[in-house]
């Protein structure tokens, strides 16, 4: 099966903890993305990454960082979570910038 | 400021009528405009897209229009059905950056 996979599905943690979310795509795409979708369903891009270039949304706090071992994997690390980080984090991939993005099922983060 | 503005935020229509969602963008270099549908508990999925070398595209009850001069594009759903009820997002892509609108909650009343 070719798709975008994310783990975990859900994560509940305390303020100040570090969390890491995994994303893997088996579509052979060159570009991967991380989005944050809040409770109002607003969809905000956080990072886009391919083998050559990392593009960071300048509004993303520095405690967020992407981590990639190869073009099929793009993980997201949050160093010290805050309550406003509670959201669904969606990973996506695409063949390139001007093409359809395929989204994973998302990871729902709850920060207590 | 907002890179892509999407209106309305909520749209209620009667089954069988048409629904229109409008988006505007800022960057004249934008050249790819996808539309995504997100059903409750699901991830967003592409339903239709248009590139800057086109003004109109139609597929399976969906029509997208692009006015590059006005930096405006729109989605039109003809003959809406209850299954069309969902969140819809427009997006504009330029210089390998993509920006999404804030979404439109479409409610199709039977």
Model pLDDT for residues A57-100, shown as the tens digit of each residue: 778 999 999 998 888 999 999 999 999 999 999 999 998 767 89
The residue of chain A nearest to residue B33, with distances taken between CA atoms, is: A98
Beta-bridge partners for A88: A37, A108
In A26-111, which ranges are E strands? Answer: 31-37, 43-49, 54-56, 64-70, 73-78, 87-94, 102-103, 107-111
| CB environment A93-111: b (16+ within 10 A), e (fewer) | bbeebbbebbbbbbbebeb
Q: Residue A55 above 90 pLDDT?
A: no
Predicted pLDDT at A112: 95
Please tell me which of the candidates B43, B49, B97 has its beta carbon nearest to residue A90.
B43
Residues of A in contact with B93 (CB under 8 A): 97-98
Predicted pLDDT of residue B1: 42
pLDDT band at A20 (very low <50, low <70, confident <90, very high): very high
Number of H helices, E strands in chain A: 0, 11
**Which of B:66-95 have CB within 8 Å of A?**
87, 89, 93
| pLDDT value of residue B98 | 85
Residue with tokens 């990871």: A107
CB distance B32–A99 less than 8 Å?
Answer: yes
CB atoms within 10 A of CB B21: 23
Q: Is the dihedral of CA A62, A80, B43, A23 positive or negative?
A: positive
Q: Taking the CA atoms of A55, A46, B30 and A72 in sequence, report the sign of the dihedral they define.
A: positive
- Residues 33-62 in A contacting B (C-alpha not used; CB under 8 Å): 33, 41-45, 48, 53, 55
A42 pLDDT more than 70: yes
Instruction: Determine what percent of chain B is predicted with pLDDT higher than 70.
Output: 96
């Amino acid at each position: 099966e070719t798709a975008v996979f994310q783990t975990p599905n859900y994560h509940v943690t305390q303020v100040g903890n570090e969390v890491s979310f995994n994303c893997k795509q088996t579509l052979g795409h060159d570009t991967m993305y991380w989005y944050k979708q809040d409770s109002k369903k607003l969809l905000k891009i956080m990072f886009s990454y391919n083998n050559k270039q990392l593009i960071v949304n300048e509004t993303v706090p520095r405690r967020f960082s992407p981590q990639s071992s190869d073009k099929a994997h793009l993980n997201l690390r949050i160093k010290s979570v805050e309550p406003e980080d509670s959201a669904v984090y969606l990973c996506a991939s695409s063949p390139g910038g001007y093409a359809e993005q395929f989204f994973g099922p998302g990871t729902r983060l709850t920060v207590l | 400021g907002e890179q892509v503005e999407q209106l309305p935020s909520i749209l209620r229509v009667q089954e069988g009528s048409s629904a229109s969602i409008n988006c505007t963008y800022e960057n004249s270099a934008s050249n790819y405009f996808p539309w995504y549908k997100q059903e409750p508990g699901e991830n967003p999925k592409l339903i239709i897209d248009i590139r800057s070398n086109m003004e109109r595209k139609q597929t399976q009850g969906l029509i997208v229009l692009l006015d590059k001069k006005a930096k405006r594009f729109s989605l039109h759903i003809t003959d809406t059905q209850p299954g069309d009820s969902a969140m819809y997002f427009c997006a504009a892509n330029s210089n390998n950056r993509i920006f999404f609108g804030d979404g439109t909650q479409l409610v199709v009343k039977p």
